[in-house]
């Protein structure tokens, strides 16, 4: 089968790999659409993913496809089913798995990170990682299930209450999903800070009440023009230190700040501890998608989240490096690879 093989920092090569048939509780998937994630970009540049990466490996953990074969023990899906893949595989035996915090699994592995994933014509994955999509869901929409599942974990941590003011920093694919999930959570006022006009417009069409251009105005002041107390919840989705500062500037007293984006591994932020103390800020990180994938599938299957305007560019397997570079451009939101 044809695959885009990650060989190490800055090196991807199109290769032909041996075809693999599923055994036991395994499912073989004809990969149809795979999204480029910020994690893929970090890995490409030699940084860590959600789990340790050991090349050569086929990346791509946000993907969907058609079941083409199943192992003898598989009962939950059949040939012809349209499926989304949950990439994260937990050991179920370490302290964190047994304590209800499996996202911190000491033996975490991930499809498309350190096991071959979506940037290939086919993949073979454990049955427990496969979730059925409705026949009405197209493959590109289905490929948004994994990032949506991660966003749901962040939303759970944010603890949005009906009536809250929520500010989302960053209007890429993740920020756009957060805007929609904040609306579904009952937020009375949703504010997006994003410098790209196209992204601000999409957010307004999908649930944002106000948008801010952070290059043109102070984010903290702009948020307080819509709510004098500041935001009750701030979700940072941009992944740079300026955005982190804007998140703290936008936060009101007692606010929850969710640092959702994937920062550079050595990034550090100078925190004003007295502000945390005086404002009683709650600061939380959000890592992967423990127990949220089925909920994401439910939202996708029922059409509760609009992903179509978020998918802006499409590439073939031979163009994976171009796709990774495009994902970082301001005119893209979500780049899809079509194996």
153 Cβ neighbours under 8 A, 6+ residues apart: 103, 286, 287, 288, 289, 290, 292
Residues 137 and 168 in one domain: no
Residues 207 and 275 in one domain: yes
Flag whether pLDDT at 49 surpasses 80. Answer: no
Q: Check: CB of residue 171 under 8 Å from CB of residue 192.
A: yes
Residues 19 and 41 in one domain: yes
Give pLDDT tens digits for 176-226: 999 999 999 999 999 999 999 999 999 999 999 999 999 999 999 999 999
Would 232 be classed as within a structural domain? Answer: yes
Would 38 be classed as within a structural domain? Answer: yes
Q: Which domain holds residue 83?
A: 2-144+307-337
Residues 136 and 162 in one domain: no
Cα–Cα dist 339/328, whole Å: 21
Residues 277 and 318 in one domain: no
Residues 137 and 12 in one domain: yes
Flag whether pLDDT at 52 surpasses 90. Answer: no
Would 294 be classed as within a structural domain? Answer: no
Give pLDDT tens digits for 31-43: 999 999 999 999 9
Mean pLDDT of all residues in 152-168 = 98
Output the pLDDT for position 264.
82
Residues 155 and 221 in one domain: yes
What percentage of residues in the chain have a pLDDT greater than 70?
Answer: 100
Give pLDDT tens digits for 127-155: 999 999 999 999 999 999 999 999 999 99
Residues 127 and 228 in one domain: no
Averaged pLDDT score across all residues of the chain? 97
Which contiguous run of DSSP H or E holds residue 44?
helix 38-44
Output the pLDDT for position 124.
98
Residues 89 and 171 in one domain: no
CATH code, 235? 3.40.50.720
Q: Provide the domain count of the chain.
A: 2
Would 251 be classed as within a structural domain? Answer: yes
Would 208 be classed as within a structural domain? Answer: yes
HSE-up (13 A, CA, CB side) for residue 181: 28
Residues 87 and 67 in one domain: yes
| DSSP 8-state secondary structure symbol assigned to residue 127 | G
194 Cβ neighbours under 8 A, 6+ residues apart: 170, 171, 175, 200, 203, 211, 212, 213, 214
Residues 206 and 244 in one domain: yes
For 86, the 3-state DSSP assignment is: coil
Give pLDDT tens digits for 250-264: 999 999 999 999 888
Would 295 be classed as within a structural domain? Answer: no
């Amino acid at each position: 089968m044809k695959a885009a093989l990650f060989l190490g920092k800055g090196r991807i090569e199109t290769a032909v790999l041996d075809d693999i048939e599923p055994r036991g509780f395994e499912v073989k998937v004809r990969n149809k659409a795979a999204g480029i994630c910020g994690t893929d970009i970090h890995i490409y540049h030699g940084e860590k993913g959600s789990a340790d990466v050991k090349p050569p490996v086929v990346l791509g953990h946000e993907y969907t496809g058609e079941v083409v074969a199943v192992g003898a023990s598989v009962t939950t899906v059949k040939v012809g089913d349209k499926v989304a893949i949950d990439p994260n595989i937990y050991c179920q035996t370490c302290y964190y798995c047994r304590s209800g915090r499996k996202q911190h699994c000491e033996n975490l592995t991930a499809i498309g990170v350190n096991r071959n994933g979506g940037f290939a014509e086919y993949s073979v994955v454990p049955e427990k990682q496969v979730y059925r999509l409705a026949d009405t869901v197209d493959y590109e929409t289905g490929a948004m299930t994994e990032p949506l599942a991660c966003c749901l974990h962040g939303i759970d941590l944010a603890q949005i209450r009906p009536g809250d003011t929520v500010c989302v920093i960053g209007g890429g694919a993740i920020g756009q999903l957060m805007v929609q999930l904040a609306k579904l959570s009952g937020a009375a006022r949703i504010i997006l800070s994003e410098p790209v006009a196209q992204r601000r417009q999409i957010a307004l069409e999908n649930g944002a009440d106000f948008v801010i251009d952070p290059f043109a105005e102070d984010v903290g002041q702009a948020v307080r023009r819509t709510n004098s107390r500041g935001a009750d919840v701030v979700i940072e989705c941009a992944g740079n230190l300026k955005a982190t500062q804007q998140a703290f500037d936008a936060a009101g007293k007692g606010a929850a700040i969710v640092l959702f984006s994937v920062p550079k591994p050595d990034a550090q932020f100078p925190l004003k501890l007295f502000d945390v103390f005086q404002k009683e800020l709650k600061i939380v990180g959000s890592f992967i998608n423990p127990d949220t994938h089925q909920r994401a599938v439910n939202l996708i299957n029922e059409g509760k989240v609009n992903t179509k305007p978020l998918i802006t560019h499409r590439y073939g397997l031979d163009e994976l490096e171009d796709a990774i570079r495009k994902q970082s451009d301001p005119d893209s939101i979500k780049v899809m690879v079509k194996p």
